[in-house]
Amino acid sequence: MLRRRLRPARPRRRRFAGLVLGLLLGAGLPAAAQQPPAGDEEEAAVVEQARVLRQVSASVVGVRALAAPDAASSESLGQVRQGSGVVIDAQGLVLTIGYLVLEADKVDLLLPDGRALPGRVVAYDLATGFALVQPVVPVQLVPAPLGQSGGLDTEEPYVIATGGPDGAMSVAQVVSQRPFSGYWEYHVEDAIFTVPPRPDHSGAGLFNARGELLGIGSLFVMEALGPGRHQPGNMFVPVDLYKAVQDELRRHGASRRSTRAWLGAHCVDHQGLVRVVRVQAGSPAEAAGLQPGDVILKLDGEPVGRLEAFYRRLWSDPRAEREVTLEVGRGAGLLTLTARTADRMKTLRRARGI
């Protein structure tokens, strides 16, 4: 019996949600559905959907990480982090969201039966936001097939699944796919936005009705429908981004795009401008004199406009460590600041052991 909780579904997805509810609460299926009569395609479809949901449930695990004592990321993420991940191959490799295991000194994979398996981080990819965790001990887990995350149907029901002893499944709707820029110097194309929101989104798997993995949960957002349109939801990093770099991640622990310039300035789009809201301690931005409230107008003489344009300009030069010039609005004045960017991957603390 699957010990999973179902969160409420919208009325138009009630039939699909009802099937999920019956499975997850241990009610099972009607006797006719358990052994469908010959030629009864509808009942056969119900049984097949039940099989898919069980497979989804078995492929998601919990992820618990303890950051290194001197990890700078603990200031914003905390030292103890917990979320989920999805098994993606027969060796138990788990795909999860990177911030869960960023600078982690210890990682455990949590199974539905309460077991905790030690794991090691084999990849952390700054560019996509993904991470890979491998169980240290041999274990048989059910891998999820990777789907196609582009052009998802907004009328179809999808499933969000989390792992571990408290794992849950719920029905979700994809409401938009669009580029997403994060304040922590992060940008992805075709991010997936879903409703209703799940608070336990970190590393959760987004699946289609065939049980294929479409995305990994990253954020709770207030504008799932798009900028300026209030609708709480979640953002998922699309699995197509992982498929494009999976060989690099397995061989090198990161993609080439993760070696890029980093300032350490947390910025947001504000009235068509890039506004600084926080400067990370010890960062190139702090050394250059950038302050919260500053508005970044130009980078190396080129107007940046919005956050996405700022990032594209910052990363357009393949050199991760270089000198850049920032034209900044501060109060009623203009300043020109010079910063020496860093390779972010070199600044991260490494695990001391499992």
Which DSSP state fits 40? Answer: -
* pLDDT attached to residue 81: 95
Half-sphere exposure at residue 344, Cβ-oriented, CA atoms within 13 angstroms: 26
Q: How far apart are CA 109 and CA 107, in angstroms?
A: 7
Tokens representing 167 are 């794992």
How far, CA to CA in Å, does 235 sit from each of 5, 42, 45, 62, 121? 21, 33, 30, 19, 23
* pLDDT attached to residue 14: 53
Q: How far apart are CA 263 and CA 299, in angstroms?
A: 12
How far is residue 15 CA from its own chain's centroid? Answer: 29
**Ranges of H-type helices in the chain:** 14-24, 31-34, 41-59, 74-77, 239-252, 284-288, 307-315, 344-347
Q: Are the beta carbons of 87 and 94 closer than 8 angstroms?
A: yes
Which DSSP state fits 32? Answer: H
Q: How far apart are CA 161 and CA 7, in angstroms?
A: 11
Q: Are the beta carbons of 84 and 200 closer than 8 angstroms?
A: yes
What is the chain's pLDDT, residue by residue, as a tens digit (354 residues)? 333 444 444 444 555 555 555 555 444 434 434 444 455 777 777 788 888 899 999 999 999 999 888 888 888 888 899 999 999 999 999 999 999 999 999 999 999 888 999 999 999 999 999 999 999 998 889 999 999 999 999 999 999 999 998 899 999 999 999 999 999 999 999 999 999 999 999 999 999 999 999 999 999 999 999 888 899 999 999 999 999 999 999 999 999 999 999 999 999 999 889 999 999 999 999 999 999 999 999 999 999 989 999 999 999 999 999 999 999 999 999 999 999 999 999 998 765 443
Q: How far apart are CA 311 and CA 274, in angstroms?
A: 10
Q: How far apart are CA 300 and CA 278, in angstroms?
A: 21
Residue 213 phi/psi, 5-degree rounding, is: -75, 130
How far, CA to CA in Å, does 217 sit from each of 22, 26, 212, 277? 25, 26, 15, 24
At position 15, the amino acid (one-letter code) is R
Residue 254 phi/psi, 5-degree rounding, is: -170, 160
In total, the chain counts a number of residues equal to 354
Give, in degrees to the nearest 5, the angle at Cα 237 between 125 and 56. 110
Q: What is the pTM of this model?
A: 0.88
Which DSSP state fits 332? Answer: T
